[in-house]
Amino acid sequence: MEEGTLGEPGYCCDTSDAFQWDSREDCDVRQILDRIADKWSLLVIALLDDRSMRFTELKKTIDGISQRMLTVTLRQLERDGLVSRTVHPVVPPRVDYALTPLGVGLHATIQSLVTWTESHQAEIAGARARYDAATAATASPVE
């Protein structure tokens, strides 16, 4: 399933004159952004701060994620070199996940995003309420 033979890292999107976000598969920035900004990836990265965590521990902490999605997500992050996977060959299998140096760098950015969200959720909620009220009023001018 992995056509993975990507000898070409893939730079394109000539940022020369006309800036453009496009080139969906040409440039992999879009693709990487998608992976990173993924619902679960985001949470895993944010969670894996300094300490390493075990599979089950992650599953418990994130809660809502299925075993499948956690596995898939972790595999992707591992493939991208953001998370390291350490298997301890003991009787009850024990696997630790931790951020790689590369992952740590990303963590900082992600964390600021999370922090921003936390400190502005009230404003967003307010904006939504206002928008919904206005919309409802327009839709059905009750009076």
Partner DNA sequence: CTGTATCCTACGCGATACTG
Partner DNA sequence: CAGTATCGCGTAGGATACAG
Among 14, 20, 51, 56, binds its own copies (CB under 8 A): 20
Residue 95 binding partner per list its own copies, DNA, none, with a CB distance cut-off of 5 to 8 Å that depends on partner kind: DNA
Q: Which of 79, 87, 97, 95 is nearest to 36 (CA)?
A: 79
Count of chain residues binding its own copies (CB under 8 A)? 64
Residue 77 binding partner per list DNA, its own copies, none, with a CB distance cut-off of 5 to 8 Å that depends on partner kind: none
Residue 93 binding partner per list DNA, its own copies, none, with a CB distance cut-off of 5 to 8 Å that depends on partner kind: DNA
Q: Name the DSSP letter for residue 27.
A: S
**Tokens standing for 3?**
């056509």
Residues 94-113, one symbol each (x = binds its own copies by CB under 8 A, - = not), give: --------x--xx--xx-xx
Task: Say whether residue 137 binds its own copies (CB under 8 A).
Answer: no
**Which amino acid is present at 2?**
E
Distances (CA, A) of 112 to 36, 41, 48, 81, 115: 14, 15, 14, 21, 5
Residue placing its CB nearer to its own copies in the complex, 91 or 139:
139
